[in-house]
Structure 1
Amino acid sequence: MASDAVTLITNDHRMMEQLFDRLRDGDGDRQLLLDECAARLTAHSHAEEQKVYTELPSAEEAHHGADEHHEAERLLHDLQRISPEGPDFDEKLEEFIAAVRHHVEHEESVVLPELREAVSPERLEELGAAFEEIRIAELAVAGIRV
């Protein structure tokens, strides 16, 4: 299994997309799924900001990514405050998903390719290990097993 930072981040993105599909489909307890989204988003964001964004050649991209994380977290917290059966839930869910997808698209098309060019494959492995360490520790605090 690849453990470089780019692969691990991309894998996390796919996991979130699976959660989005389950939320849209009503597959499971929506409140529990939102809680899992919150835990995974927070762990992912913190790990990226602390260990990966520091290696980006552009400080502007790092700030932009952090701002997008904070916006997604704000939208998710707003969503968590309303009932999954409420009339506004689906609209707010789509707004949250759109914000995360925008971030993912930018990160995968611009940020991660820049990172891959800026650092050695060995450094990408080191960043992957550091990213995973923080992510797993934060998920464990939230009660989510990896």
Structure 2
Amino acid sequence: MTSGIDLGRPESGDIIDLITDDHRRFEHLLAQLRLGTADRDAVRRAFANVLIAHGEAEEDLVYPVLRQQAGDVDAHDIEHGKEEHAEGNEALLAVLELKGTDTQAFTDAVEELSNLVAHHIAEEELSILEPARTEVSNKVRWDLGEKWSRRRNELIDQDCGSAENVRRIVEAAKREGVLEDA
């Protein structure tokens, strides 16, 4: 499915560390897409699976608990995180729908995706994860880490980053008003 590209297969850990590990993985895969140092088609498929699995598991399992348990993480931070996931998913879809990987259109689409992901990572780590590090107990963070890992890995096994699934996720975000229709 992803030609030996490391998608990470965590089974447990502190949720904050697991999420930030994935953030570093995103940055590495995006660098490979930008630089063309690996099979771009394989990297984009791998990136799509990790990004979608990460975000879906995070929104379903992590955000609700952090909102409840971390006093400095408010509803606005969580909603903003979901909006940024939707924007990233929309940019990912644009990358997935391109036929070739050696065109200016591909380069431009990857750059747009990279910028959105970098912005989201910075905000999420600062406004959601850092407060959670001190305000959420180790037990809760490790319990979340196990649940999130299991769900993330299940989604990757289901090829959640397929263009069809990403299109479905983007359309749902538009219907729910999380993304504006272009």
Query: Could you tell me the TM-score, scaled by structure 1's length?
Result: 0.91
Corresponding residue number in structure 2 for 1:3: 13
Q: 2:30 aligns with which of 6, 16, 20?
A: 20
Structure 1 residue 45 corresponds to structure 2 residue 62: no
2:104 is paired with a residue of what secondary structure? coil
Q: Where in structure 2 are the equivalents of 1:111-126 lying within 5 Å?
A: 111-126=128-143
1:74 & 1:94 partners in 2: Cα distance?
13
5+ residue gaps, structure 2, are 1-9, 68-73, 162-182
State the Cα distance separating 1:120 from its structure 2 match.
0.8
Q: Report if aligned partners of 2:33, 2:43 keep a CA contact under 8 Å in 1.
A: yes
Q: Which residue of 1 aligns with 2:114?
A: 97
2:95 alignment counterpart = 79
Instruction: Tell me the residue number matched to 1:61.
Output: 77
Q: Provide closer, same or farther for how the CA distance between residues 143 and 54 of structure 1 changes in structure 2, counting only shifts above 3 A.
A: closer
1:60-118 deviation per Cα after TM superposition (whole angstroms, max 9, x unaligned): 21111111111101001111112212222112111100000000001111210122233
Deviation at residue 143 of structure 1 after TM alignment: 9.0
Give, as a single letter, the amino acid of the residue that structure 2 aligns with 1:73.
N
Which letter maps to 1:117? T
What CA distance in whole angstroms lies between the structure 1 residues aligned with 2:114 and 2:49?
Answer: 15
Partner of 2:40: 30
Report the RMSD for the aligned CA atoms in angstroms: 1.8
Q: Is the 2:52–2:160 Cα contact (8 Å) retained in structure 1?
A: no
> How many residue pairs are counted as aligned between the two chains?
144
Does structure 2 retain, via aligned residues, the 8 Å contact 1:43–1:138? yes
CA 1:143–1:53: 2 relative to 1, 3 Å:
closer
Give the unaligned 5+ runs of structure 1.
none
1:110 partner amino acid: S
Tell me, yes or no, if the aligned pair for 2:66 and 2:132 is still in contact at 8 Å.
Answer: yes
TM-score by length of 2: 0.74
Distance between the aligned counterparts of 1:90 and 1:104, measured in 2? 21
Q: Is contact 1:5-1:125 (8 Å) kept?
A: yes
Instruction: Check 1:54–1:143 CA distance in 2 against 1; reply closer, same or farther (3 A cut).
Output: closer
